[in-house]
Structure 1
Amino acid sequence: MIGENEVLEGTLEHDGTEIDCVKNVTPELALKNDLVIYKDNALVWGRFDLSKVELKIVNALIALINPLEPFKKQNQWNFTKADLENLGVSSIGNLHRHIDEITTNLQSQIIRLPMKDKDGKQIDDGKSFEKVNLFYKSKWDDKEKIASFSFHPELEPYLINLKGHFTKYHLHHVQGMESQYGIRLYELLRSIYSLEKVKKGNFSISLPLSYDKLREVLELGDKYPRFSNFHTRVLQPAVDDLNTTDIDVKYSFPDRLTPKSTAKVKTIVFTITTKFGYHPTKIVKGSLVPIEGENEVRLSVKRQLNLFFKSSVSDRLIATYGVTRCLSNMKLLSAEDSATKIKNAAGWLNKAIEEDYANSDTGADLVDLLKVSTETDVHKKRFLEEQLMPIWPSLESEEQRDFLQHRFDQGAVAVRFAQYYAASLSGNIPAPAIQVKTVNAKADRDAVNAELTNLLNTDWAF
């Protein structure tokens, strides 16, 4: 399984638990399943020139690999005619002729990889490299209409028993893309903005990438030498593809300070936000409309849950609690700033769905929501345990939500903490609050207003 460390620095290990990969390879690919791709980051950042269809074939093959089993036990993967059609192989001309051309190109394809030292660390000097063939054998059975592929043995360290830096992402996100550059850019960004970061609550990130390095990895060579051409023919179509996946991507050019600037672009900054907690939609006559089909909605919700859990866990949550409950609690997690200080977003979401935080009358248990152990300030920790937790059920939902969003920065609870902190500094530590089961909303509001009035004439220098 993937360990507790980030995917970027994780290890695939045999420990008896399930990982997201194919266990029993069958003649049929079942492309619509939630297959997962694991790649060493050297392979992700390797240089090769493949068409959109060829990239989709390679990614689908990698998704079939069990990353814990050596090649000698599994190194032949089959596609049926239906699989090939889903991948777009037969969309142009005769299937036999097209698969002949593709297998020839794939088998002759050489990948330029960053060289590694004896400890497996990449040597990033811009000069050292190693080159490996992608496949060593491919077959086409015209009678059965089955294509078979075997990866080159030299690629095994980049796909099997991965240790150190590697990337995980779901196959379905790239299989519908219209641009080969979208496929490549998605996995490049995902190699830095890993799913483990998402699980820990990092829902947005900014990534600066060198323009020259990006051109190099995409194997553009002499294509689109003018930046304006690169922008319209490569970058924008790729980002359009990315925005149909689990991330929303925007980009900027910090070297160009104004819209009319023609300064040389050296860096592209990508701002990436993870998308979840939304009802699936589709385009009908140019407009977005909600998808109502039960199976389609279920699949969308499962794929959103898969950002945080293994596929089997997502299935269990949906089967036990239903898609509506799962979706509403994901929406709660994705609310603006509501989870930015929750270290374990996956654990929080699992608990939220089980206890249905989104539809709770009194709000969730403060211990689960705040993960009190994340507060290192002794005064805040004591305030949470002795003052806030006992009265939490009695607070109005607006106060609860305000505190969960802003913590100690603003709001009625922040005012209470300021008073508690001032008293503590003077040696008059307030006694622990008495557990409250009911709330007098008017009295509570009056007390908060009084506290706010007192605060106006107080200098909280801390």
Structure 2
Amino acid sequence: MELEKKKIVEHNDLIMSSAKMDTVPLKFFELAVSEIDTFNPPKDNTIYLSKRDMFKFLNAKDNDNDKYHRFKQAISKMQKQAFFEIREEKGKGFVFRNIVPIPYVEWKSYSDEVKIRFDVEIMPYLTELKTNFTQFALTDIQGLNSKHSIIIYKWLNMNYNQFEYYKKNGNRDGQQLYNLCNPIIEVDELRWLTNTQKEYVGRFTNFEIYVIKKPIKEINKYTRFNVSYDKIREGRKITKIQFHISLKGEKTIENSSSKPKKVVTLADAQQSPYSQLLIGAFLLQISDVQDEKLMLSLAAKIYPKYDEFVEKYSLDILKKHLEYVKAHSTNIKDLVTYLDNALENYQKRLVGQEKDNKESKPKNRKKGVIQKEKIPDYISNPGKNKLTQKGIEDSKAADELLAKINGDLK
């Protein structure tokens, strides 16, 4: 069969494994896999390749006198050094398997035929493919000259194939579809996939150039994909990469129902105006602002609700609510839960008050929400609208705290 018509089909666990091999052995393995008929697995796990097709796939020229030497080197490395570290989630953890994929290769100097026998342990990942598998054309990786390009392309293809399937068959909402064609991977996970845990350490720049930027350039040039990426930080450290995949000639998905959720960092949470409101209300202390778990939890669970509240009512009403919460709180053990419950109860009261307002319709009452929460003295002095002495002192203390936290964040 011509190379242009060959397909590679692999289980997703193999796609997500760590390939401990160089580019040529990896491409040799992929070429061998393309010879497998998943509906009619090869007898004795043995397939036959053509030297002519093999050299063509490896982009070896006819006048390349060194191609046989490189072929022998690739076979030697595959059998002596190269293996897949396959990780499968089982129970409470992972099961790891190290598999040398092709332990036996035989060829003759006077024949075009190359005999290849796969290891019995690798075959389930190549033939038992009822679910959780990925298919792509052999020629998709023919032009990729870096093992990182091949590994990343297979991972991107796995995600995009799922996107295409669920887009056609349903069962996924807009956000889930967006996530599949804009997948996020942890940097540590990407290092594991590409077997670069001990390479390009130190500054992120070198890792980005050789493991991300150059492979993406190759993928965009030689495959059906257009790919871009964003770096996601947590504090000062880049911890995740988000890829954006589209087919050539098509735009990436971007609509109101599938916009990505911004990954909030500790710095984002610290700089949120709601954090400063909580500090001003003495519900957060300076030491709390450095508590990453607490701040990220507030940013994820509370601040979005504050956004909705402010949009419906006002920032001033939220501020008064927080002052009320502080004035009536004692021994708060779980600030996030406490604030969540307090806001929910307050919103219920406001809804009830709005309903009463509509029913009674007083003639001389100003429009707006009736505020039944008692405002502490240091917020305002009803009737005179002046701060008390206690309010002035507490206001100065709040300003000093805000100035200090702002200085720490810069």
Compute the TM-score of the two structures, normalised by the length of structure 2.
0.53
Superposed, which structure 2 residues align to 1:147-296 within 5 Å?
147-194=114-161, 197=164, 200=167, 205-225=181-201, 226-244=203-221, 245-255=223-233, 263-276=236-249
Gaps of 5+ in 2: 169-176, 259-410
CA distance in 2, matches of 1:68, 1:161: 9
Return structure 1 stretches of 4+ with deviation > 6 angstroms: 334-338
Structure 2 matches for 1:51-450, cutoff 5 A?
Answer: 51-72=22-43, 75-88=46-59, 94-108=66-80, 109-115=82-88, 122-123=89-90, 128-194=95-161, 197=164, 200=167, 205-225=181-201, 226-244=203-221, 245-255=223-233, 263-276=236-249
- For 2:9 and 2:129, the matched residues in 1 are separated by 8
Give the number of equivalent residue pairs: 244
Relative to structure 1, the CA distance from residue 335 to residue 112 in structure 2 (aligned partners, 3 Å threshold; closer, same or farther) is: closer
Q: CA deviation at 1:128?
A: 2.8
Partners of 1:237 and 1:39 in 2: CA distance: 25
- CA distance change for structure 1 residues 217 and 336 in 2, over 3 Å: closer, same or farther? closer
How much does 1:72 deviate?
1.9
Task: Supply the AA of the counterpart residue of 2:31.
Answer: A
- Amino acid of the residue matched to residue 219 of structure 1? N
Q: Distance in 2 between matches of 1:80 and 1:196?
A: 36
Contact 1:250 1:271 in 2 (8 A): yes
**CA displacement at 1:44 relative to structure 2:** 0.8
- Decide which structure has greater helix share: 2
CA distance in 2, matches of 1:266, 1:138: 41
Of the structure 1 ranges 239-248 and 188-197, higher mean CA displacement relative to structure 2 is found in 188-197
Structure 1 residues not aligned, in runs of 5+? 1-28, 116-121, 258-262, 278-333, 342-462
For residues 218 and 124 of structure 1, the distance between their equivalents in structure 2, rounded to whole angstroms, comes to 26
| Superimposed CA distance per residue, residues 53-72 of structure 1 (whole angstroms, 9 cap, x where no aligned partner) | 22222111111110112332
Aligned letter for 2:74? I
Decide whether the 8 Å contact of 2:144 with 2:218 is kept in 1. Answer: yes
Query: Is the 2:25–2:78 Cα contact (8 Å) retained in structure 1?
Result: yes
Kept in 2, the 8 Å contact 1:48–1:218? The answer is yes
* Distance in structure 2 (CA, Å) of the matches to 1:199 and 1:176: 29
Partner deviation per Cα, 1:436-460 (whole Å, 9 max, x = no partner): xxxxxxxxxxxxxxxxxxxxxxxxx
Q: Deviations over 1:90-110 (max 9, x none)?
A: 797633322221111112322
Q: Report the Cα distance in structure 2 between the residues aligned to 1:238 and 1:92, rounded to whole angstroms.
A: 26
Q: Deviations over 1:257-290 (max 9, x none)?
A: 9xxxxx211111111112357xxxxxxxxxxxxx
Identity of aligned residues (%): 21
- Tell me, in whole angstroms, the C-alpha distance in 1 between the residues paired with 2:233 and 2:141: 30
Three-state SS of the structure 2 residue aligned to 1:37 is strand
Give the TM-score, by structure 1 length.
Answer: 0.48
When the two chains are superposed, the root-mean-square deviation of aligned CA atoms in Å is: 3.0
